[in-house]
Amino acid sequence: MRRSGRRLLVEEAGASLFRGLRTRLTLWYCGVLGAALILFGVALYFGANYFLLQPLEDSAQQHARMHAEQWLAGHLDRACASSMPGNPFPAPGKEGPVMEWVLCFDAQGHPLIGSDDQLPPGLISGSLVQQAVQQGNASDIVDGGHSFGAIYRYAVAVPSSDGSAVSGVVLVGESIQAQENALSLLLILLLCLGALSLLGAGVGGLFLANRALAPARLAWANQQRFIADASHELRTPLTLLRADAEVLLRSRERLQGEDAALLDDIVTETNHLAAIANNLLTLARLDSGQLHREHEVIHLATLAHHGARRIRALAVQRAIRVEEEHHDQPYVIGDPLLLEQAILVLLDNALKYNRQGGSVLIRTLERDGRAILEVCDTGIGIPPEHLPHLGERFYRVDKARSREAGGTGLGLSIARSIARLHRGQLTLTSVPDQGTVATLSLPLARSAGFETLQHRPALRKAAAPDQRLGARETGLSR
């Protein structure tokens, strides 16, 4: 196998945890700042839009009403003057032409008095006049072309002398291109400054998150070191204590009944404490990345068969059948000892929480480009409210039964950590009183970027499963 340049990097669980926290904190910083910037930008843009355009719109409406009054007074020629002299808004890029136009229309929408000035395109187009005839007044914004830009139009209907009909319509147009340019520039500035602010918030958020998480990271490292050191130091006295008790039990016939029972309890409890210490040490090493890990091509069915063979004697004592099903040829990259430990944890749980006369099925297959190992039992099952907590350290569904069976509440935590170390995942599904299915999903060897053994006959022969392993093997006869 090509090991050079292709070894998988072991990612420290603590680093992964704090990296996720740092990312989430940074996203929260950016999200809060982004929301504040959006609210500020929207308020600023619409405020500027109101203060820039509202005076022009009020001016156009005021001039339209003034010309309508002149029309009613009988001064049609003055009312329909083509422009207002002295307008303070010159055309963009031009000197001289004013930026306000006044046009008059009859009730059918035909212009009454022509203009010698060149009118902007779009000034008299559309149905604004008809809307004013029907509604009394109407307004819109049209494109006046390259020379004039955006134009705000306001049309007001002029009633007849008796008020029973509409004599015509006065339309006033004012150029708002300068204001539109200012608003466009403001929008561009807001977007650019917002993007730069979010980028700065992301960089600053990462820095602040690192600073904020530094004490937590130190506490995590100290905790993992303490657990590892304490577990390591406890193993020796526990081993000596158990050995002393077992030596005394060799002379059971010379001991009183109560003394022998107490020594049996000491052996049992020291075994339990030793299991807890070993599991804690394993978890601490997994979390800190200090556990040595091999990278080998592993045939998952062979590993599952070895695990089933190891627990078959215990299954026979409890009258539980152990069955195997193997499909496809799933190969994975990983540490065979760690993966076998995870499989044994799943098989051990399947036996502990099974019924006498029940069965345990271990199945391997390929699914959606991943190697799958399933351990199915016909045991007591797990209530739905406990499923989300399985894998938490020292969490046990039935503490009395787990204690009686020798469980510590750390096995699934170890199995889940081993799965995560191999870029896999462990999921559990269960139906109360029917059984539980534990699914270990791992990347296939070819998916992990390694050459599969399918085209390497020599290594394939070495890694091939036992030829006696059929589609299904039974540990007990029915």
How many C-beta atoms lie closer than 10 Å to residue 78's C-beta? 12
137 pairs with which residues across the strands?
156
Q: What is the pLDDT of residue 463?
A: 41
Supply the DSSP symbol for 75. Answer: -
Map tokens 């001016």 to a residue: 59
CA distance 139 to 154: 4
Q: What is the pLDDT of residue 90?
A: 43
Q: What is the pLDDT of residue 290?
A: 58
Alpha helices of 250-321 — where are they, by DSSP H?
257-288, 300-317
* CB distance 144 to 120 below 8 Å: yes
Angle between helices 13-72 and 411-421 (to 10 degrees): 70
Give the H/E segment covering residue 48.
helix 13-72
CA distance 305 to 323: 10
SS3 for 387-418, per residue?
HHHCCCCCCCCCHHHHHHHCCCCCHHHHHHHH
* CB distance 388 to 358 below 8 Å: no
Q: What is the pLDDT of residue 423?
A: 86
pTM equals: 0.51
Q: What is the pLDDT of residue 14?
A: 58
CA quadruple 315, 396, 234, 281: dihedral sign: positive
Going residue by residue through the chain (478 aa), what tens digit of pLDDT does each one get? 333 333 333 334 456 667 778 888 888 888 998 999 999 999 999 999 999 999 989 988 998 988 888 888 877 777 776 544 333 334 333 344 447 888 888 888 888 765 545 678 788 877 888 899 889 999 999 988 887 888 999 999 998 877 778 888 999 988 888 899 999 999 999 999 999 998 988 888 888 888 888 887 777 676 667 766 676 677 778 778 778 788 877 877 777 777 778 888 788 778 777 777 776 777 666 666 655 567 888 899 999 999 999 988 888 888 899 999 998 889 999 888 889 888 998 998 888 888 888 899 999 999 888 999 999 998 888 887 777 777 666 666 655 455 555 556 677 888 888 888 888 888 888 888 888 899 999 998 875 444 444 444 433 433 444 433 333 333 333 3
CA distance 397 to 401: 9
Q: What is the DSSP string of 55-72?
A: HHHHHHHHHHHHHHHHHH
